[in-house]
Structure 1
């Protein structure tokens, strides 16, 4: 079964005067995916989302949305997108329903029932006369999501939808997004600067740093990259890896800059490793079980370091 692309960017770039906000970037999203776009603040996440949603013009490159590539085709395709890019502007002294009705009229969304249905979808149908200024942060995030859902989108583009939420709020929004993906088959592109917040949500990840897409990988590949490993410190590390490779079938390892050896598929077999090296007169100075956190992996990927 062939994969259907919802969005594909090829060499997409954007500069503001002398500052390059997005270097030529390639990125694609298949139908049904939840792609987590991960990067530090200022890495270029919002710029990319603005180019996709038409809130900024591209300098170069090609953007394809639902197979459309022409200016007119992209305008039509964007009617199938629901988006929250940066903070949505709502009127402080209006209710949730009044705010959504204002935007429904402004955007020409048909159906007077659309605002109420969107509120029902995000769990805000009982807010009644409560004004936006009295909403909690979680309620404000939900209202932004309701706004993005009013046009019944096939593709959601969300800029930091979990930002500032407490742990309960993060779980609530995450479960809501998963429900929309599973039940309505909505494809999603979600930006976030905290990788751990996406680990129970994203099916695919793209990492961005200093305006460059540095890696794209599936959730399974990320999980494998962060799986437990044994950190080995031994004499003659070059000879040690040769011995291990010859004596232990299928062993997977990498030699680190500090000359330690990370062994990825031998968890629970530390005694065997020590015995094999001792049989070849190689002294072991340290062998411990470790696991890379998602944050550690991200920092290693972009060339940073954790404290």
Structure 2
């Protein structure tokens, strides 16, 4: 197994408080690794340690099979927290300065990456006129400009509209599959991570709870019928006594999830109607990455 990023016992302490505790991550070459966790869980701090912006208190970091060197850092593109630019310069001028700083001399790449993030038509405008979403896209363009082996992105779709999010999602897939980049992406949009990630790492209170492939997460998905009714007590009686269904769960005062594999949605609907139970909605669903994440964060069993 070829890992482009490995950490061993990575720990960061601020004023005697461990904000990152004994984290050992494993990111495979060429994959998209989704980094998930609540606010304040330690995601950004870990990303800063991986890019040498923050020095670890203890532990080891290996990138591209090596310890930190300037050469290794030259193979990393990143956008962590809010991207900062020279506001009076244009998008093109900001990227040109980045090329100079990185010692990267392929100036044709500037127009290529601006095109990739749909900013080519406004590359001559000063950045101070840009919206939050446009600055996010410019930050992504700067991160991928030098064609790095490793791309580290902290909440990269903040401020983007749904169409913009879709285009950036497609871009990430292209960077991974066609350019062979490895992507480490943190995001609060679990549905987006679910669509693009190969592996997810879940962190809570500075501790890495789990690393798991999305294939394994999908393999644990369970189909169920979700029933919403204002007469929950009566509905439960009908399910158990009339239909002999026992594998169901009450989620709240109106919602019931029915996990019986052979349960017929039509039969349930008919029985409820015959027993004067109103049905606000009834749909077949499956457990998602969001369900998996919430159960893990809450310390519950992963199985349904």
TM-score range, shorter chain: 0.7 to 0.9
Counterpart secondary structure, 1:185:
coil
- Write the mapping of 1:247-266 to structure 2, written as runs, cut at 5 A: none
Alpha-carbon displacement from aligned partner over 1:53-95 (angstroms, at most 9, x marks no partner)? 11111111111111102x44xx321211111111121122211
CA contact 2:113–2:145 (8 Å) conserved in 1: yes
Within the alignment, does 1:270 sit opposite 2:263 as a pair? yes
Q: Distance in 2 between matches of 1:197 and 1:128?
A: 27
Q: Matched residue of 1:94: which SS?
A: coil
Tell whether the 8 Å contact from 1:162 to 1:197 is kept in structure 2 after alignment. no
Deviates more, 1:53-62 or 1:119-128: 119-128
RMSD: 3.2
Map 1:179-218 → 2, pairs under 5 A: 179-218=174-213
- Structure 1 position 103 matched with structure 2 position 101: no
* Match in the other structure for 1:140: 135
Distance 1:130 1:40 in 2: 36
- Give the one of 44, 47, 55 matched to 1:46: 44
Structure 2, unmatched stretches of 5+, are 227-235, 238-245, 251-256, 265-282
* 1:169 correspondence with 2:164: yes
Shift of 1:186: 0.9
Report the CA distance shift for 1:183/1:168 in structure 2 as closer, same or farther (over 3 A).
Answer: same
**Displacement, 1:144?**
0.6
Distance change >3 Å, CA 108–CA 223, structure 1 → 2: same
**2:31 alignment partner in structure 1:** 33
Structure 1: runs of 5 or more not aligned: 235-243, 245-252, 257-261, 272-287
**Cα deviation 1:81-131 (Å, max 9, x = unaligned):** 111111121122211001111222233323333433332333322214222
The alignment partner of 1:23 has SS state of strand
Deviation at 1:290, TM superposition (A): 5.9
Inter-partner Cα distance in structure 2 for 1:10 and 1:202: 22
Aligned counterpart, 2:60? 62
Q: Of 3, 15, 18, which aligns to 1:5?
A: 3
Within 1, Cα distance between the matches of 2:249 and 2:211? 23
Q: Distance in 2 between matches of 1:208 and 1:123?
A: 33
CA gap 1:225/1:105 in 2 versus in 1, 3 angstroms: same
Trace 1:98-137 onto structure 2 (pairs within 5 A): 98-137=93-132
Q: State the SS of the aligned residue for 2:121.
A: coil
| CA distance, structure 1, for counterparts of residue 32 and residue 123 of structure 2 | 32
Q: Aligned partners of 1:230 and 1:113: how far apart in 2?
A: 53
Q: Scaled by the length of structure 2, what TM-score is found?
A: 0.77
